[in-house]
């Protein structure tokens, strides 16, 4: 495990390879360019836009005003999508965790040959378009299949899953599950199995072993995975549109409305900035929460 403090020898070694600094720069350059052009620059533009006015025919007009933020923060109907998104993303992340952790553990404890097979099975759905897979859920959850089946069980002919938050949740968990499984798998795969045996030898039960051995080891993967699924879920647009029948109104949908239907780019930008802030705060709180009392433990976030 790498320590934060470099030994003098290590530091000297890096300086000694100064001639390769140019090569390092050259190799980092594409990623750096990507980062600046596609992340930093758009963020700056969005932030600038969020202080502007809507042009007469829609779009952006330069200005410096806080109106967009004031409207956003003071009107309940504007804030509602944020709250809906927040609880959907939290529920979706928990869902991914409940499904993903046992799955990752299962795959990580197979023999090498089988591991490859299971990982492949997990990846294969990605060969099909996300949209097509989401459409497929329309059929699976539809009234002729799962939806109708549950309806007949509880004796309600009008029972529906599609068009409810439950359908959106199923879609979210399905769509982002692999992003949760892979980081968990990577951490669990490196786990020393003898630790589990030692725990059992020392008299710990299954739950105690899981809580004191497996979970702490899986924690870095768990944090990474949670963040990887939480962020896109917060901005999700397609799943609520298709499986939620447009009835579950998330921030992503509100953003599309702002940019396409009302063509109010500055207001949409303000929403986007607020969304980023909400995510930052949530994730910071989350990382702090799972790490509290674990000073000194190395945690890789991304």
Angle at the Cα of 166 (from 88 to 73), degrees rounded to 5?
30
Binding status of residue 144 toward another protein by CB under 8 A:
yes
Residues in region 5-64 near another protein by CB under 8 A:
54, 56-58
Q: Which of 261, 293, 295, 302 binds another protein (CB under 8 A)?
A: 261
What span, in angstroms and rounded, lies between the C-alpha atoms of 121 and 143? 28
Shortest distance in whole angstroms from residue 50 CB to another protein: 16
Angle at the Cα of 266 (from 245 to 62), degrees rounded to 5?
160
**For tokens 């780019």, what's the residue?**
265
The token pair at 54 is 């809507």
Cβ atoms 251, 85 nearer than 8 A: yes
Shortest distance in whole angstroms from residue 246 CB to another protein: 3
Residue 118 CB coordination number (10 Å)? 17
What span, in angstroms and rounded, lies between the C-alpha atoms of 262 and 233? 24
Q: Which of 6, 25, 212, 262 binds another protein (CB under 8 A)?
A: 262
Shortest distance in whole angstroms from residue 269 CB to another protein: 15
Task: Please choose, out of 18-26, 174-182, 188-196, 234-242, the segment that lies near another protein by the rule CB under 8 A.
Answer: 234-242
Task: State the sign of the Cα–Cα–Cα–Cα dihedral 163, 165, 166, 168.
Answer: positive
Binding mask 111-140 for another protein (x = CB under 8 A): ------------------xxxx--xx-xxx
* Three-class secondary structure of residue 114 per DSSP: helix
Closest CB to another protein among 98 and 131?
Answer: 131
Binding mask 63-82 for another protein (x = CB under 8 A): --------x---x-xx-xx-
* Total residues in contact with another protein, by rule CB under 8 A: 46
What span, in angstroms and rounded, lies between the C-alpha atoms of 47 and 284? 21
* Three-class secondary structure of residue 250 per DSSP: coil
Residues of this chain that interact with another protein (CB under 8 A) are 54, 56-58, 71, 75, 77-78, 80-81, 84, 129-132, 135-136, 138-140, 142-145, 158, 163, 165, 237-238, 241-242, 244-249, 253-254, 256-257, 260-264
């Amino acid at each position: 495990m790498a320590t934060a403090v470099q030994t003098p020898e290590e530091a000297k070694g890096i300086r000694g390879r100064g001639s390769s600094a140019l090569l390092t720069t050259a190799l980092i350059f594409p990623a750096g360019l990507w980062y600046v052009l596609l992340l930093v620059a758009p963020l700056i533009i969005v932030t600038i836009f969020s202080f502007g006015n809507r042009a007469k025919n829609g779009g952006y007009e330069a200005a410096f005003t806080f109106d967009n933020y004031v409207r956003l923060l003071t009107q309940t109907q504007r804030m509602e999508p944020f709250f809906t998104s927040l609880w959907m993303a939290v529920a979706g992340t928990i869902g991914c965790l409940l499904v993903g952790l046992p799955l990752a553990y299962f795959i990580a404890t197979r023999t090498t040959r089988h591991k490859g097979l299971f990982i492949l099975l997990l990846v294969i759905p990605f060969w099909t378009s996300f949209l097509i897979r989401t459409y497929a859920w329309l059929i699976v959850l539809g009234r002729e299949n799962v939806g109708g089946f549950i309806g007949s069980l509880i004796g309600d002919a009008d029972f529906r899953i599609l068009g409810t938050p439950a359908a959106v949740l199923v879609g979210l968990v399905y769509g982002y599950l692999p992003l949760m499984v892979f980081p968990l798998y990577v951490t669990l795969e490196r786990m020393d199995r003898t630790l589990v045996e030692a725990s059992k030898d020392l008299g710990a039960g299954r739950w105690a072993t899981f809580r004191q051995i497996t979970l702490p080891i899986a924690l870095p993967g768990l944090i990474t995975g949670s963040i990887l699924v939480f962020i896109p879920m917060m901005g999700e647009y397609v799943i609520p549109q298709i499986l939620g029948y447009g009835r579950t109104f998330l921030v992503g949908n509100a953003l599309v409305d702002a940019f396409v239907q009302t063509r109010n780019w500055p207001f949409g930008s303000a929403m986007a900035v607020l969304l980023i802030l909400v995510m930052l705060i949530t994730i910071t709180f989350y990382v702090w929460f799972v790490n509290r009392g674990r000073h000194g433990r190395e945690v890789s976030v991304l």
